Structure 1
């Protein structure tokens, strides 16, 4: 019998998702597993994989074998969770015109996320931003579960 996945577990995994990790869901247990994206990428330029301990290699290989089973499915990747769109939609929801314009301007710069983050703290919007972001991640997680036919609980 398959156990439902906790939406909160998916959200937590998505919050810390980076370009060098992959997140898998065990559809039988509801467990969320994070692994390095590619074993080859675990090495830095000029570093030999021989520098890894046998135990590290063994753990990584065992984990890779497990997630290749039919019980695991790959979860959405960072590119699918478009942070810039989330920031833009958040800014568009700001009713005060000056603040709206100032915040919207920040997301069109090269270092958009850093500038945006500085402004939300400066103008006291951090709590609202993180609530909004979690709400949107929750919505994306639920939609993903429904598309995959995965039973979930949203506590």
Structure 2
């Protein structure tokens, strides 16, 4: 089977705690299933959950927010910066509560926003390619 890489990347970018996204191999579409512990399940969610239970091989789960490890991606980005004030401040910014907010503020302050978003996009692309390989899928660019 073949999936557009862009579709996998989009699912990775949209990953959150409330919904789990899946690739429906029958329709080729991305479907979202609400976490019943986080939100009330709609009739549509219940129908999808039943379909997944009856034909689990039809649905491939995209990487979840936990599997994406955005914190590790931030650490890798910082490690690739040249030694200096920006690297030190970003390394400090990601410690403790509020790390993501402080990281984004520091990236902006040091004029590294575009570099960060380019790095993040490439990290997501690599994750998407790895997911396709693990699922035995070919992808189109």
Q: TM-score, normalised by structure 2?
A: 0.88
- Listed as ranges, the gaps of 5+ residues in structure 2 are none
* 1:7 and 2:1 are equivalent in the alignment: no
The CA distance in 2 between the partners of 1:67 and 1:24, in whole Å, is 10
> Is the partner of 2:44 in helix, strand or coil?
helix
Deviations 1:55-108 (A, max 9, x none): x73222222233332211212111111011000100111115111111111111
Cα deviation for residue 36 of structure 1 reads: 0.8
The CA distance in 2 between the partners of 1:34 and 1:153, in whole Å, is 22
Partner of 2:20: 22
> Is the partner of 2:95 in helix, strand or coil?
coil
Q: Please give the root-mean-square deviation of Cα atoms over the aligned residues, in Å.
A: 1.7
Of 96, 109, 126, the residue aligned with 1:109 is 96
State the number of aligned residues: 139
Q: How has the CA–CA distance of structure 1 residues 145 and 122 changed in structure 2, closer, same or farther, with 3 Å as cutoff?
A: same
Larger-gyration structure (1/2)? 1
The CA distance in 1 between the partners of 2:69 and 2:43, in whole Å, is 34
Q: TM-score, normalised by structure 1?
A: 0.81
- Listed as ranges, the gaps of 5+ residues in structure 1 are 44-55
4+ residue stretches of structure 1 with deviation over 4 A?
A: none
Cα deviation for residue 16 of structure 1 reads: 1.7
